[in-house]
Amino acid sequence: MSETNKQNYFAQDVDFAKQELQTSEQGISASEAKARLEKYGPNEIQEGKKKSTLEKFIDQFKDLMIIILLIAAALSVVLEGSEGMVDAIIILAVVLINAIMGVIQENKAEDAIDALKEMSSPQANVIRDGEQVAIDSKEIVPGDVVVLEAGDVVPADIRLFKATSLQIEEAALTGESVPVTKELGVVDSDAGIGDRTNMAFSSTNVTYGRGQGIVTGTGMDTEVGNIAEMLEGAEGKTTPLQENLDALTKFLTYAIVAIAVFIFVIGLINGREWVEMLLTAISIAVAALPEGLPAITTIILALGTQKMADRNALIRKLPAVETLGGTEVICSDKTGTLTQNKMTIEKVYYNGQLHDASEEISFDEPVFRVMNMANDTSINNAGELAGDPTETAMIQFGMDKGFDVKAVLADQPRVGEVPFDSDRKMSSTVHPSGDQDQGQYISMTKGAPDVLIANCNYYYDNGEIKELTDDVRQQLLDTNHDMATQALRVLAMAFKYWDQEPAAYDSETLENDLVFAGLVGEIDPERPEAKDAIARAKGAGIRTVMITGDHKDTASAIAARLGIIEEGDEAAVTTGAHLNEISDEELAQKVDQYSVYARVSPEHKVRIVKAWQSHDKVVAMTGDGVNDAPSLKQSDIGVGMGITGTEVSKGASDMVLADDNFATIVTAVEEGRKVFANIQKAVQFLLSANLGEVTTLFVATMLNWQILEPIHILWINLVTDTFPAIALGLEAAEADVMDHTPRGRQSNLLSAGVLPSIVYQGLYEGAITLFVFWFARVQMQVELVDAEAMAFLTLAFIQLFHAFNSKSVFKSLFSHNPFDNKWLNIGVGVSTLLMLVTVFVPGLNDAFGTVHLVGDPRSTEMWTVILLASASIILYVEIVKAILRATGLAAKWQDNK
């Protein structure tokens, strides 16, 4: 942070700031502002250095599987010359496609966030050369005098020298949802940000009143910029999918190396040439490696991001799509995510009865008149409201009832007022009376119920003004308490008639001997869809944890209404004060006891996330403030808010909600589960096919059979693997995808029955291919080239039939329409066509040795064997699946995450 903002201006009087920054209450000149803009730079948060396209492209080649493929390609060229060049070209093509797609997706993610950043570019009102002007907030410089009004976004860090009932909501910086009342006095030099009441901080919101102050820091020299700078050095975390792919790559690498070395040694022992055996080992390595997996995984994830974007979830980091699917705990903000972030009147108490806001109310009821007329909300020509959320809720209530407050105030304008004061906890206005029989003027007062009721000597009851007895007073206080326990923010309304204009507009004159009019209960209501979303998450085994800066009673009541906790379950609710008293170790031990955290600061969020992660849980965390960024980074899936979120919190997130809606998170989790399931289907299909190829080559080598040429293996890998595997990524979500518990961090791409399926299916593919070769040579007595061709086509077509088996690990192919995935139908169709090209196109059939399968007297017999053997995998897998379901092994493997 630069020298301009290191002076602790909050601990000094205003004259010190004026002297240090060479300014006055009349501001600086336009020429001086220009010079300072060149010196300090624009007032904006600077992004960390972005990777160039070349750097992003190079990063795509750091994957172990990609490195192995590149080595295999190089060895193919060195050892096989021109023949190996075909292998190398195919491998390089797959690798390049994967790299290009990775770069495109990274750029698209950045574009999405850049688009969000363009949504907000606030203007600011400053005083320059003694006159107030509106400028772009980026042009503000230290020493500028900024004018703040309700509805403004504070454009920089400011030392205040004027504050008229000024309240600023600083949740973006401190996590505290209650607006802070600003005062001008000097505060202690060791005061925290939340206690620096004479400062206004960049990116916070003015909710009430007016103020002016001197800019002490801009851009990266603000408190917001300081946190953003600290985040630049934070290291990114690996996602479960990245860990799974790394683990799978290592597993395959070790297995392939072991098999290749074993075959190489056996060949040498049997007296075969070392070059021949090395080429054989390379062929097996190429057959075993699912070289299309990185590209296919990227494509499936990219398709998932498009689906999520259509449903208001913008994915910034590609693997986050899958991470969502493994989410076990969602730590969510209350305000704006679980609730509507819009104060709304829910209950109104008057005439001795509590009424629901939906009920009709007479415009002549004093409680209704006071809430609408003693109100500082501004209404523009479009009917939009600006001001303190508590007051705008009252005006909105009146507008919903058809009350024209602007017309009423035109007839009964405000002639005087006593602004709200945090010590009095009341505010009052004075208007001409609409009832000459009662008096010429009427004062209207609203404020905290306990304070206002104490200042009342009368109460209004169905058109009569009655004396306020102790019993009635206690009844009012009890009603206030009952409303507060329902998470309502309660305000009291009162009035007083005057025969002539009050002699003074002060609290002592206007706010005594009042007539109580009623109580207004407001709440930030839960989103209608949030309760259902939480129930869906619960049914899917996902724990929802609510974290808020609100009071414990409010948090508890909202959580009960949402179904996060049972009503009255106080043991599930804790506070930030309690977290301060316990260690991280104790929190980790007790973290599963708490579902609601109230009055917490953003630093508590990091502790909560770490506590859950200590139990190996996959944790999603929502946040919108700058200080939320560390917890967003710490969580497995950071979820930023697209509407209310700061740019820093969005930048620290893996996913951004375009609608700030909790239900969108649950929808994204469902999509993430589908994506992971589809990746598993692709892995099952690819690895079972590759195991079939390895089994065929391994056994054939051991038996000294010449069964498949390198061109056969490469063509099968290119044609029969890629298209069906990508199409499997477009499978619709299985109906019960949200009925299972989260797979969690312990699962991997081979869990939930995928590995056993790969083994029994891959071994069968290899066995059938070997059987067809043996049958062709021994029983049919065909030539070697024809037996090789039959084995080649059998291995290819058995994989295409098997693609349909891979639509589900355990469910029968015929439990629903087997052809409901049109992309799989197209993929298999294209692959089939490309395979037939090697048979029916002159020249190609000679290269692949399939000439005799066209027009030969025995071609029909050979095709019959090929197709029956290939199709047999459908029957085989259906029988095994039925046995697994009947014996309970399917359920056991599926639950073994």
Say whether 120 sits in a helix, a strand or coil.
Answer: coil
Q: How far apart are CA 234 and CA 717, in angstroms?
A: 41
Is the dihedral angle over the CA atoms 97, 102, 107, 109 positive or is it negative?
Answer: positive
- Asked if pLDDT for residue 251 goes beyond 80, the answer is no
- Alpha carbons 601 and 627: distance in angstroms, whole number: 9
Q: Is the pLDDT of residue 69 over 70?
A: no
Task: Give the pLDDT band (50/70/90) at residue 323.
Answer: confident
Task: Choose among 652, 625, 655, 654: nearest CA to 232.
Answer: 652
Share of the chain above pLDDT 90, in %: 20
Do 323-340+527-660 and 347-520 agree at the fold level? no
Mean pLDDT, residues 73-99: 63
779-831 pLDDT, tens digit per residue, is 888 888 888 888 888 998 999 999 998 888 888 888 888 888 888 899 889 88
Alpha carbons 339 and 343: distance in angstroms, whole number: 10
Does residue 5 have a pLDDT over 60?
A: no
Pairwise CA distance, residues 11 & 196, whole Å: 9
Q: State which fold the 1-223 domain adopts.
A: 2.70.150
Res. 9: pLDDT tops 70: yes
pLDDT of residue 641: 80
Specify the amino acid at residue 280: T
Percentage, residues of the chain above pLDDT 70:
81
Q: How many CB atoms lie within 10 A of CB 613?
A: 18
Catalytic residue among 63, 157, 221, 333: 333
Judge whether residue 427 has pLDDT over 70.
Answer: yes
pLDDT higher for 711 or 481? 481
Q: What is the CATH number of domain 323-340+527-660?
A: 3.40.50.1000
- pLDDT digit string, tens, across residues 188-238: 876 767 778 889 888 788 877 889 999 998 888 887 777 666 555 444 455
pLDDT beyond 50 at 44 = yes
Query: What is the 3 state secondary structure string of 211-229?
Result: EEEEEEECHHHCHHHHHHH
The domain locations on the chain are: 1-223, 293-312+669-737+744-895, 323-340+527-660, 347-520
Rounded Cα distance, 191 and 189, in Å: 6
User: Is residue 70 pLDDT above 80, yes or no?
Assistant: no
pLDDT of residue 655: 84
Q: How many angstroms separate the CA atoms of 836 and 828, rounded? A: 12
Which pLDDT band, with edges at 50, 70 and 90, does 872 fall under? Answer: very high
**Residue 116 has what pLDDT?**
34
Asked if residue 608 lies in contact with residue 592, where contact means CB atoms within 8 angstroms, the answer is no
Dihedral sign for Cα 586, 587, 591, 594, please.
positive
Annotated catalytic residue 739: no
At 704, the pLDDT band (50, 70, 90 cuts) reads: confident
pLDDT tens string 538-567: 888 889 998 887 778 778 888 888 888 887
pLDDT mean over 380-398? 85
Q: How confident is the model at residue 374 (pLDDT cuts 50, 70, 90)?
A: very high
CA dist 41 and 172 (Å) reads: 24
Pick the CATH number of 293-312+669-737+744-895 from 1.10.645.10, 1.20.1110.10, 3.40.50.970, 2.40.30.10: 1.20.1110.10
Give the pLDDT score at 728.
Answer: 84
Q: Which top CATH class is 347-520?
A: alpha beta
Question: 72: pLDDT confidence band, cut at 50, 70 and 90?
Answer: low
> What pLDDT score was predicted for residue 49?
60
CA 195 – CA 207 distance, rounded (Å): 18
| pLDDT at position 121 | 41
Burial class of residue 464 in the structure, from the number of CB atoms within 10 Å of its CB (0-12 exposed, 13-18 middle, 19+ buried): exposed
pLDDT confidence band for 474 (50 / 70 / 90): very high
pTM of the full structure: 0.67
DSSP state letters, 780-833: S---HHHHHHHHHHHHHHHHHHHHHHTT-SSS-GGGS-TT--HHHHHHHHHHHH
Residue 2 has pLDDT above 60, yes or no: no
The pLDDT of residue 514 is 95
Tokens of 39: 């010196």
